[in-house]
Every structure is written in structure tokens, then in C-alpha cells.
Amino acid sequence: MKRACSPNTNTDENSTASSIRPFKTNYLRMKLLVIAFLLFVTLNVLGQDKKSLAPTPPMGWNSWDWFGKKEINEQNMKECIDAVVNEGLLDAGYKYFVIDGGWRDTKLGPNGELLAHPDKFPHGMKAMADYAHSKGLKFGLHTVPGTHDCGGDPVGGFGHEELQVKQFVDWGIDFIKLDKCKYADGWNEDLLKKTYLKWHNLLDNCGRDILLSISAYKWRDWYPEVGQMARTTGDIRARVSKGAVFDLIPLSVMGISDENNKSAEFAGNGYWNDPDMLALGNQGLSIEEQKSHFALWCIMSSPLILGNDPRIMSKEEKEIILNAVAIAVNQDPTEQGRRIKVKNGFEIWKKNLKNGKIAILVLNRVNTEKQKLILKLNELGIEGNYKITNIYTGENVRCNDGLVSIELVPHASLFMVIEK
């Protein structure tokens, strides 16, 4: 009896096993498809996150313009961190605190690792990053991709990129200013691009969101695919370089603006042209010149990286850099504003904003005389009835039949928002 039943039992088992095999195969296929789909989504999300590190122009503070390489140390950088927070700069959007050149030792470690200067930063840069983070700030550092920094110290990352990026991740760095400086055998354009692209790829895959700020002193067409912001000019004149200058030399406020304006069409979508830091405060510019300087950087959608001393800001200085409407113009991601008209010593800059609003900057570039101008809005493509607001005073600007009467002293400006 048992033998008679055995074949039937085995047949059932074989039948069951046969039905299970395709089920298992289909299950494994589905599982692999789900894993592949999740991996695809994850990689796309990571890519989007990297692209969205700077959906609007980055804002923050950098040590170079005021302190240079020699004057920074652990104590005064902590004081500046405290001031950025206590004076309301962080609340206004200035979230990146960046220590520029001068934090490193004059040599690399035995394996090519970066070393903090033992006297100026005895507790190292992780301690500085931790302090900034404890105050709600993001923390950045200056580093160089070649063989030497700009002062000639052999502290570059060339050949040590993986190790140095790992250090930045371990320290908790959020922002890297990658400054071209020097390569022992001399840079060429191909090597420069390959080197910056290597840093881009390493940072993109390092497991931490680190904004890449390219500093290579002129516009290049590969910048938007490699960094979130990139310098279009040399260093702006500031306290560290014998004082800020408004016009008449290449690295003045206006000289820098002229150059940055040339690449306006490429800004946006997570990349921003960088005309260097804001040389505000007691660095050589008058209050009217500082207002024009800030307005230009706002209308050009430039990164707002302060180069002042936040511990000793004047009332007028704070009113400029904390102006919420000016900052809103800057942070509007629609486009980089452009210079659209030059007439009798006046320059007119325009930026189209969201919701049909328009920002206009009228600037008297003449160096010696007060100038008058009748601004015709229809010549700027502005028709109909509009409300016009002076961004710095908050007052309405009178407009009669589409005409605005303007009178400005040398280097002064009228910064306006126009809305229906």
C-alpha cells in the first residue's frame, strides 16, 4: 500500500516543486528590478541634491579681504563667528563662514595630508568647524588644487586629492574655495580643467554636501558643470590690498562689474558667477559707494560673501548688508541682471524678478559731478502703471507719465523695485 501510494506522493511533490521554481525566479527578478529602481532613484536624488546646493546665490562671510593670510587665528575667527550670529547676519541669510588662506601650516604631512597651522589654529580645523556648526553656521575653507598656495608654500592638493577630500569630510566642511594659485610646472587650460573636474567628482561622491567655489580668476565655459559658483575676475581691491577702489582701475568695484557682466547669460540653475567678495565697511569706499557696490552684487545675482570685519560694523554698514529687499532681489533665481543702457555717465542695470517684478539700478559713474537724468521707463521695456519703491529708503519713487527724475552725486545710485 505504501509503495502504491509513493509514486502519487512523489508526483505531487515534483509538481509542487515545479510550480515553486518559476515563482522563485519571478520573485528574484522582481527583487532585482526593485533594487535597480531604488538605486536609480537614489542616484538621481543625490545628483539633484548636488545641483541644488546653491539654488540661489550663496551668502556668507570670508576672512581674506579684511585679515589676509597673516592676521587670522583661532581666537579672532571665533570672535567673527560670534559676531556673524549676534549681529543678525546669519538670520539675514549669511550662512557660510569661510576661512581663507592662512589656516594651513607651511607644509603638508608625510602622506600629503593638510595640516592646520600649529600656532594660529592649535586645536585644528575640525574644532573650528564644530564651533561654527554649534552656532548654526556652515563652515568653509580655502584650499589649492596645484602644488603651492598663492604665497609659494608647498601645500597644494595635486596628487593628494582623495586624501584631502576625505580630511574635509572628516572635519565637517560644507564649503570649499578651490583657489587656482600655483602649479610647479605651470598651469595649462587642459590640466586646469581636468584638475577641477577631479575635485568636482570627488566632492560629488564624498557622502557629504560640500559646495564647490571655483577661484581661477576669469570666466571659463566649463564652470557651470563643475562648481556651484566661480570667479569671473581677479581679486577685488580691499583692505588686504591697500584698500577698496570704486572705479578707474581693473580690480575696482566697477572694473570687476564690467567683467562679470560679460558672462551674465550663463548664471542660474544652481550655478552663479562670482565677482569676488563685498569690500564693505572701513576699506576705502564711501557710504554711497558701498550702497552702489552692494546693489550691483544684488542685481547681478552674485554670491553675497562679505569681506568686512563683522565685529566692528557701523550702523550704516549694517543697514546696507541687512537690507531685506536688496537681499530678496539677489536671491531671486530668475537670472543674472545685466547692464542694459549707458547714457551721459549713467548706467542702468535691470533684473527681471518673479511675479512680474523688475529691479532697476541707476548709477552715476561720473567721478566728479552731480548728474541729472530723466529715466524713461518705456525705453526699458516697462509699460503701464507701476509702483516704484526705493530699496534703500523704502519710500515710493515718483513717476509722472512713465518718467522718473533722478539726481545723483558721483558713484551714488538709485536702487528700485518696480511692480504692478
Same domain, 296 and 197: yes
Verify whether residue 274 is a known catalytic residue. no
Nearest to 416 by CA among 340, 336, 322, 353: 353
Same domain, 141 and 171: yes
User: What pLDDT is attached to residue 28?
Assistant: 58
Same domain, 30 and 143: no
In this prediction, residue 52 has a pLDDT band, given cuts at 50, 70 and 90, of confident
Same domain, 91 and 229: yes
Q: At residue 271, what are phi and psi to the nearest 5 degrees?
A: -130, 140
In this prediction, residue 12 has a pLDDT band, given cuts at 50, 70 and 90, of very low
Task: Return mean pLDDT, the chain.
Answer: 91
Same domain, 45 and 194: no
Domain count, the chain: 3
* Dihedral angle of Cα 280, 283, 284, 289, to the nearest 10 degrees: 0
User: What pLDDT is attached to residue 256?
Assistant: 98
SS3 (DSSP) at 180: coil
User: What pLDDT is attached to residue 412?
Assistant: 98
Average pLDDT over residues 229-254: 98
Angle at 406 between CA 404 and CA 408, to 5 degrees: 165
- 363 - beta bridge partners? 347, 413
Give, for 349, the enclosing helix (H) or strand (E). strand 346-352
Same domain, 326 and 343: no
SS3 (DSSP) at 171: helix
Does position 1 have pLDDT exceeding 70, yes or no? no
In this prediction, residue 3 has a pLDDT band, given cuts at 50, 70 and 90, of very low
Q: How many CA atoms lie within 13 A of 227 on its CB side?
A: 29
Average pLDDT over residues 11-18: 47
Verify whether residue 276 is a known catalytic residue. no
**pTM for the model:** 0.89
Parallel, antiparallel, or unpaired: how do β-strands 371-376 and 387-390 relate? unpaired
Give, for 329, the enclosing helix (H) or strand (E). helix 324-331
The active-site residue, picked from 153, 174, 235, 276, is 235
Same domain, 152 and 117: yes
DSSP for 202-226, please give it. HHHTSSS--EEEEE-SS--TTHHHH
**Per-residue pLDDT tens digits for 82-136:** 999 999 999 999 999 999 999 999 999 999 999 999 999 999 999 999 999 999 9
User: What pLDDT is attached to residue 11?
Assistant: 45
The active-site residue, picked from 100, 179, 274, 276, is 179
**Structural domain range at position 348:** 339-419
Average pLDDT over residues 214-231: 98
Domain-terminating residue out of 306, 336, 366: 336
Same domain, 306 and 413: no
Same domain, 188 and 315: yes
Nearest to 299 by CA among 345, 258, 262, 335: 335
Cβ–Cβ under 8 Å, residues 247 and 240: no
Does position 34 have pLDDT exceeding 70, yes or no? no
In this prediction, residue 48 has a pLDDT band, given cuts at 50, 70 and 90, of very low
Cβ–Cβ under 8 Å, residues 128 and 99: yes
Average pLDDT over residues 272-281: 98
Give the Cα separation of 24 and 30 in Å (integer): 10
Same domain, 278 and 352: no
Nearest to 104 by CA among 148, 155, 70: 155
What single-letter amino acid sits at 164? Q
Same domain, 63 and 42: no
CATH number for 347 = 2.60.40.1180
User: What pLDDT is attached to residue 45?
Assistant: 44
Does position 329 have pLDDT exceeding 50, yes or no? yes
Same domain, 331 and 343: no
Does position 64 have pLDDT exceeding 80, yes or no? yes
Q: How many CA atoms lie within 13 A of 68 on its CB side?
A: 10
User: What pLDDT is attached to residue 32?
Assistant: 59
CATH number for 123 = 3.20.20.70
SS3 (DSSP) at 61: strand
